[in-house]
Amino acid sequence: MKVIVTGASGFLGRRVMRALLMEGVQAQGTWSTTPRQGLMRLDITDARAVDAAFVEGGFDVCIHAAARCNLDDCERHRSAATSINVGGTGHVVEACRRTRTRLLYVSTDHVFDGAPARTYVETDAPRPLQHYGVTKREGELLALTLEDALVLRVPLLYGLTGPDEKSTFVTSTLEQLSTGLPVYVDGEQVRYPVLVDEVAGLLARLAGGGVRGVLHFSGAEATTKYAWARRLAHAFNLDVSLVRARKESSLAVRPRDNRLVSTRLTALGLKTPFSLSEGLDVLRHQREAGL
């Protein structure tokens, strides 16, 4: 099996590449704005370039993780976000169609509106509140025009990052607390984080086929950034009192409580995600091992 991973220099894409290689899968990653040794440059907004890459590559599977993801950035630069998240995805879809490449499309909980007192299963109708969610939903619809495509919806991803990567919430929180500086984070929006390594491992497993349509993979444990930062501080023996709650200002409208629930994971024989406590144990091990 030969797999192409778009966005392979990003937070998730890099770990998908690692998971595939650990499984002995031949994988080719791509980058567009963040160069990385061993990856192929590919601008997914260039239809001819995408088509040529797929024709020449002879791939069996595409894991499409490339996207413009920052919610406020997508509001400020709507045209650019649409160009990448919708136009670029359309080019990837058509290349997959032409070359009969199976597509795994990474989507988001932000396709839902976070209505009070409810959860979202795979068959629920999406209703995004902000431009990012709109573009990802349009990307889903494009992906699902392929008969054997899989759309994997995930919530906030967490994990440690290296010195050559863009810092994530976990890494930046730990770094700031380690210097003795207070960390001000939102205490209102409810999140259900999932460890990025688990998502990467799931995608590597699903690349082998057998699952199509829409699948949710989300943590079941509710938290806020404030509560999560306090747990991080406690787990890494840092000063919990330095974590301060404040309302997050945001250009994009953000759902109050978006909980994804899967009706398919157990039936498919797939493992449910770690609890936050289990995830913290993994983070501690990774940091101690210098991973």
pLDDT digits (tens, 9 = 90+) for 148-159: 999 999 999 999
Is residue 234 situated within a structural domain?
Answer: no
Is residue 34 situated within a structural domain?
Answer: yes
Beta-bridged to residue 30, according to DSSP, are 40
What confidence tens digit (pLDDT) does each residue in 92-132 have?
999 999 999 999 999 999 999 998 778 999 999 999 999 99
Q: Please report, for the domain that includes residue 48, its CATH number.
A: 3.40.50.720
Is residue 230 situated within a structural domain?
Answer: no
Q: How many structural domains comprise the chain?
A: 1
Is residue 183 situated within a structural domain?
Answer: no
Is residue 289 situated within a structural domain?
Answer: no
Is residue 22 situated within a structural domain?
Answer: yes
- In terms of Cβ atoms closer than 10 Å to its own Cβ (0-12, 13-18, 19+), residue 35 is exposed
Is residue 215 situated within a structural domain?
Answer: yes
Entry pTM: 0.96
Instruction: Tell me which residue range forms the domain holding 206.
Output: 2-159+194-220+255-267
pLDDT of residue 289: 85
In whole angstroms, what is the distance from residue 141 CA to residue 201 CA?
A: 24
Is residue 262 situated within a structural domain?
Answer: yes
- 3-class SS of residue 49: helix
CB 53 within 8 A of CB 30: yes
Burial string for 152-186 (b: 16+ CB within 10 Å, else e) reads bbbbbbbbbbeeebebbbbbebbebbeeeeebbbb
C-alpha closest to that of 154 among 6, 278, 11: 11
In whole angstroms, what is the distance from residue 156 CA to residue 242 CA?
A: 23
